[in-house]
Structure 1
Amino acid sequence: MSLAESWGRYAAGSTPRRTVNAKGDTTWLNWTQYADHGPNESVLGPVAGRRVLELGSGSGSNLAHLVTLGATGQGVDIAPARAVVARERWGELPGLEFRTVDAVAFLKETDETDETFDVVLSIFGAVWFVDPDILLPLIRSRMAPGGILAFSHLPPGSRGPKPAEAGQRYDHTPDEWGHILTGHGFSDVCVSLIEPPQGRAVGTMLVRASAA
C-alpha cells in the first residue's frame, strides 16, 4: 500500500469535523486535538490579504476559516480523499485551492517558480512526519520576508494514531525545535505547550517562527 493510500484509509476512518462549534461558528481554526480548545488564528497575526499555505490540509476546515478572514489559501494533502472532502465542503469559497500532492514534492515544484507564501501552517501535518532537515529549507525558500511558520503536534513521547507506512514522527523537544528552526534560517522561535482540557492527560505543542 502506498503512503497516499495509507493516509487515505486513515482519513476515511476519522470522525468528520462538526459543521458548527460550541460558539455557533461555522468556520474556526483549531490547533489542538480537542474540540473548542486552544488559541485561535491570532497566533498567525493578521491574515487578510496574505497568501497562506497549509501542509496537510485535511478536510480544509482550518484553511477555509482563514480564507473567510480575507486570506488566499493553498491546501496540500497527500491523501486524495482529503481533497475530495475539502472541495465538496469549501469549493465555493473564492481564493481557496486544494491539491493532492506530497508536501516535499509541492515545495520543490513551487521552488521552480516565484510563488511565495506569507503564512505556512501545519496542524498535526507534514512538519510532524517529514525530516525537518529536508522540509524546513524548502518551506523557508518559499516564504516571503517576515512570513510566519506555525505548526502543532503532540508533545514528545505522546502516542498518537498514524498509518504504519508514515514512518517516523519527528517528536522534538522545544529546545530541539528552536535549534533546528534557527539552523534553517528562521528567527523569533516560540514553542509553547497548550495544556489539555480538564480530564485529559495530553496537551499540544505549538511552534511559531518568523522568516525574517
Structure 2
Amino acid sequence: MTSTKDRTISRGDSGALIGFCIAGVLIAAYITVFSIIRIIELARGVDVPVLIEFAPDASAVDLPLSTGGSVAVGLDSGTIIAPQLPAIAAVPGIIGQVLQIITILVVIGCLILLARSTVSGRIFGRGRTALVATAGITGLLGFASVRFFDNMLANATVARITDNGIDNAVMSVEPFTFILGAFVIALICTVFSIGDRLQRDTDGLV
C-alpha cells in the first residue's frame, strides 16, 4: 500500500516561512516602486544620474591631499549627471528597469509558492522542482539582462556627454559570476529532483 500523506512541520518553521513570504512581498514592492521611479526619471531625461564603470586602464585619478599634492587612486565606478539624457540611452535604461520588475516578481512569486507548499508539509515534488528551476533561470537570465541594458545606458550616456572622451567599461556580465550562478541553480534543481524521487520511493514503502 502506498501513502502520499503530507508531513506536518512545526509552528516555528511555519512562522518562519510565513515571515519569509511577508518579507518577499515587501522586497518585491520596494524594488517595484524604486524601478517605477527610475523609469519616470529616465523618461523625463533631465539631470539623470547614471552609474558608469571604468575600464581598468582608465581608472587612475589624482586625489588631492589636505597636506598638499595628490595621490593616484583607482576608480572602479562613478556617477555622471546627464543634463539631457538622449533617447538612445533612456530606452535601454527603461527596458532594464521593466525587466528588473518582471524578474523580481517572478523569482519572489515562485519562492513564495514554494514556501506555501512547504507549509503544507510537502517539500519535494515535480511542481516544487519546477518552481525552483523557474526562479533560478529567471533570476539568472533576468539580472544578466538588466545588467546588459544598464551598461547600454551608461555607454550611450558617456558617449553623448563626453563625446567618447572617457574609456568606460563595456563588459555587461562577468562570465565567472554567471557560470557560478548557473552551477548553483543546477545544483539546487538536482537536489530537489533527487529529493522528489526519494520521497516518492519512501511513500511507496509506507
TM-score interval for Structure 1 and Structure 2 normalised by the shorter chain: under 0.3
What TM-score do the two structures reach when normalised by structure 1? 0.20
Higher strand content, 1 or 2: 1
Q: Greater RCO between the two (CA within 8 Å, min separation 6)?
A: 2
Q: Which of 1 and 2 has greater Rg?
A: 2
